[in-house]
Amino acid sequence: MIRIARLLRSLTRNRVIAVAADAEAHDADHLSEEVQRRSFVAGLARYLARLLRLPARVAVVGPSMMPTLLDGDRCLVRRTRRVGRGDLVVFTDPEYPSRLIVKRVVGLAPNGIEVAGDNLDASRDSRSFGAVPSRSVLGIAWYRYAPAERTGRIS
């Protein structure tokens, strides 16, 4: 599984190809085919990553999860919608759908999950926007990979 993740990561890196201004038309056509092929491979790699449920990466912004997660921490997220009380879940913000939020599950409700930040005074959570629908859950934050002095499993 780790080898697949490394392969997919290497395939999805942005690649820049420089073209000389005096290149012949044949070389330009060949280059265009190469760019299309690499673009296709990168798209396929992203699709397979989602299909295989490979971990996602998120960055923590703000103090709402202190002391568990600090501003600037980077975490791996195991893609799943099955969560339990106490799990740190990553989900789509109900008020700003382009943003992801990390919170702790404090309760399971029929209409979704109840979440709260570890730092209640600085947290916007289920007290503000209600239960989070299960379909909004990306997964469980389980490993901090940066900064280096704080790496390890998240509890």
103 included as an active-site residue: yes
- Name the active-site residue from 32, 39, 103, 134: 103
Which of 94, 101, 98 lies closest to 141 in space, CA to CA?
Answer: 101
Span between the terminal Cα atoms of the chain, in Å: 23
Q: How far apart are CA 86 and CA 63, in angstroms?
A: 18
- Residue 60 has a CB neighbour count (10 Å cut-off) of 19
- Name the active-site residue from 10, 64, 98, 136: 64
Q: How far apart are CA 65 and CA 108, in angstroms?
A: 19
Q: How far apart are CA 155 and CA 50, in angstroms?
A: 25
Cα angle for residues 4, 145, 64 (degrees, 5° grid)? 125
128 included as an active-site residue: no
Please list the active-site residues. 64, 103
